[in-house]
Structure 1
Amino acid sequence: MSKGFTTRAISRRRALQGAAALGGLAAPMLNSVTAYSQSGGFDWKRFKGQEVEVLMETGPRADLMKKYKGEFKDLTGIELGIEVIPEQQARQKVAIELNSGKPSFDLFNFAYHVQKRQFEKGGWLLDITSWLKDPQMMPAEYELGDVSKLGMSFATTSDGKVNSLPILCDYFILYYNKDLFAKKGVAVPKTLDEMMAAAAKINDPAAGISGFVGRGVRNANVVLWTQLLSGWGQETIKGTKLITDTPDAIASAEYYKKLLSSYAPQGVAGFNWNEAQGLFIQGKAGMWIDATGFAAPIEDKTKSRVVGKVGYALPPSGPKGHGSVTFGSGMAIPKASTHKEAAYLTMLWMTGPKMAGRMLQVGGGIPFRTNPLKDPAVLAGLTIPREWAECAAGCAPISMSGLPVIVPVTEFRDVIGTALTNMLGGADPATELKRATTEFQPVIDKSEQT
């Protein structure tokens, strides 16, 4: 990994090394920094004295930005104003203000699987393609070539332009309670059949122990189902056509229904990730499948009763496939920002290798980069078990999309999520998925026409 960003000038040759990965992108946009042109290379102090307003969702990345914003000011001379609000509130605020053309922020983070398509169709984000290939705007220390292909695909629009930079991804993994596994003599499951058998063996309602816990509440439950669906080698959409009522989709839904109905706690139909996490950190569940970002609270001695007792493993494979559904987030600049260049430097800093290593160390998420996951210095500073990082690295080759990239993704989660919740109440999986698919396909068709 890079030793960190510095203010020294770099040669054009070194700068272009980092931009080589973008050689096939769209033609450069008009360079809006011509007025700042200089004879040297990249300079972090180029836009000193400016102020950048940043909107962040509540979470580890916002905490890190606040913690190190003084370091950033020393590096760049740029002052950061940081507003941090909860996820759902932030998503609504961003969409409303971008649509208004007068956003109160110059930089923000967002979930690709939720708002990428909406922002692309709205044309609200700044195209940074040419800056990534400009040695005066891209430091070699950024190590652009280390950003994963998946990350850059998330950041790239359908016409080949880059309008964001990827910051973090969440792979779905299997968390398991080593003590409960040892007590029952259960091996770590490598297949879905083995996981069902392990859940049955560990499940002990009389003792308050569930064999498995996961998302059952409407909307949130969809991503657990799509993780199981990956075991049948399938996603939820092909082009713009829903494929959520195929025999494989139905088989995975039947598995979902049996696993949660038989071996999860009572009331699981009301569980989101926070309720599942709460049960797991109390030592009351044998297994939990969810995103990598939950390792930090699991290993927090002030909150968890299972510190040092948790194992981290790849999601079990299914009869037709092996995947880890992946959800990514990025940072972007509104076209209407009045501090575009300074916001761009802020984005480079926040998504660069140094901050990526810090995020990994606190267990706040997996960077869309390779080097931090194998850098001895970064791994030595982990505040959570190295097994977690090794598991995350193993997920990369089997990563796949967990949700369709469509504008009405929230509505998709509501409709399919209702079907899944109904199954937990006893409804037939085939009937529910066929109904939901028929109901939602016209919504996708309409969204693609507008």
Structure 2
Amino acid sequence: MKRILAVLLIVSLSFVVFAQGASEAPAKQQEIRVLLANHPYGELLKPLIPEFEAQSGIKVNYESLQESQLTQKLTTEFATGSSTVDVFMTRPLQEGLLFIKNGWYGSLAKYDFGDYPAASVDLGRKDGVPYIVPLVIEWQVMYYRKDLFKKAGVKVPTNFVELEAAAKALTKDGVAGFGSRGKGAAAVTQISSFIYNFGGNYLENNVAVFDSPEALEGFRYYGRLLGNYGPQGIASMSWENLMPVFQAGKLAMWTDASVFLGQVVDPTKTNIPAEDIGVAQLPAGPNGDSPFIVTSWGMAMSSKSKNPDAALQFLNWATSKELAVKGMLANIPMSRDSAWANDTVRKNMNAELIATQAHAAKNGYPLDRPFMSAVGQARDLIGEVIVEAIDTKGTSTRLPALATEKAKAVNELLKADGEYGGK
């Protein structure tokens, strides 16, 4: 009997030990899926992700996509209910309205927005609920070759008349005088400042007005500049195509977003000494001096995230004050107020870039595209007008009719989404 009791005791103790061991087995590692843009900040973030993984114990599976591909992938996955994404970079002015309307962003009510300009946060807010963390601000600048200007005896242009004259003078010896985006929809953001500075706009009170005489002057001028003085094939070029041309020394002036300075002067990517590259504000037009200044990129969580706590932990890290300073020191203009006030940043950041930011902050326009849910389709329509202007070097006689046709189509998009402001 004693032997039987002893055996039972051993068995029961073994079971307890086994049960305890089973309960103490390590939990499965948390994993999140992150979609990043092929953007300077996305490139800065990627090599730092292993640090986050080591600190948090969270495995990050990330993908990096060109901006239009990123939007398309997110839209397709969300619309079909097949998405497994947890955190993603997003453009408040591009997909923000649509994604909020469709409930694809997760609430960020727990996030601390105290270090951001209120207007930038409001872009991604609905009914008091914030959905997007402002990440990067951009404004239009002009990158230029100081050495070529000096050699040609040309001053840095301060207005559109001087800009066209400089482009003409600098187009020689295999160098194009002026470059900016010419590829349809991609060019909508960069031509915006030209349209504003002729007195035009894309929308007024949620009605398309880019067929106005003022806007048409902007299209014609932009088309004339690029058609006459741009690189060959400019009507199919976006920033990804133009940057290498500038870095190769084949472009004297290039207007685009301020965020690209770090790559423009990177000695591993450019043939031009940094001291020969200047940054100036966009020249003024006849009716304005307002380059766009926008919250170009933000970061958001998916409303369908299976790991919301881990996702929020990653988002907090990826948008932290520390990484904002790293971004600024890499010449990426971040949205956090504290990053701009940082002493190290102010001592090391390009002084010309800081000057252009001060000008844009004071005089700039807060949109670089039509602010509407169907902005992607609207950009495609406006892009057709841009390409027509470039292909004809600004001389197209059908430009007014084409712009009116596309403006009517944009108004139909606004009506379909209940956003039209006309009668």
Distance 1:321 1:123, change over 3 A: same
Matched residues in 1 for 2:125 and 2:308: separation? 19
SS at 1:400's partner residue?
Answer: coil
User: Does the 8 Å contact 2:202/2:209 carry over to 1?
Assistant: yes
Matched residues in 2 for 1:125 and 1:218: separation? 28
Aligned residue number for residue 388 of structure 2 = 422
Aligned residue number for residue 120 of structure 1 = 100
Aligned residue number for residue 330 of structure 2 = 362
Which residue among 37, 48, 51 is the counterpart of 2:31?
51
1:163-242 matched pairs, under 5 angstroms: 163-204=131-172, 207-242=173-208
What amino acid does structure 2 have at the position aligned with 1:254? R
Matched residues in 1 for 2:236 and 2:47: separation? 35
User: Does the 8 Å contact 2:141/2:256 carry over to 1?
Assistant: yes
1:177-326 matched pairs, under 5 angstroms: 177-204=145-172, 207-308=173-274, 309-325=276-292, 326=294
Q: How far off its partner does 1:362 sit?
A: 1.9
Which residue among 409, 431, 435 is the counterpart of 2:401?
431
Is 1:146 the equivalent of 2:115? yes
Matched residues in 1 for 2:54 and 2:175: separation? 52
What amino acid does structure 2 have at the position aligned with 1:418? E
Aligned residue number for residue 15 of structure 1 = none
Number of matched pairs = 387
TM-score, length-scaled by structure 2: 0.84
> How many percent of aligned residue pairs carry the same amino acid?
27
Aligned residue number for residue 444 of structure 1 = 414
SS at 1:344's partner residue?
Answer: helix
Aligned residue number for residue 373 of structure 1 = 340
Matched residues in 2 for 1:102 and 1:359: separation? 33
Distance 1:215 1:70, change over 3 A: closer
User: Does the 8 Å contact 1:233/1:322 carry over to 2?
Assistant: no
Aligned residue number for residue 20 of structure 1 = none
What amino acid does structure 2 have at the position aligned with 1:392? Q
Distance 1:201 1:62, change over 3 A: closer
What amino acid does structure 2 have at the position aligned with 1:342? A
Pick the structure with greater CA Rg. Answer: 2
Q: How far off its partner does 1:379 sit?
A: 4.3
Which residue among 304, 317, 329 is the counterpart of 2:297?
329
1:60-79 matched pairs, under 5 angstroms: 60-73=40-53, 75-79=55-59
TM-score, length-scaled by structure 1: 0.79
Aligned residue number for residue 32 of structure 1 = none
Distance 1:276 1:62, change over 3 A: closer
Is 1:91 the equivalent of 2:71? yes
User: Does the 8 Å contact 1:225/1:253 carry over to 2?
Assistant: yes
Distance 1:82 1:276, change over 3 A: closer
Q: How far off its partner does 1:381 sit?
A: 5.5
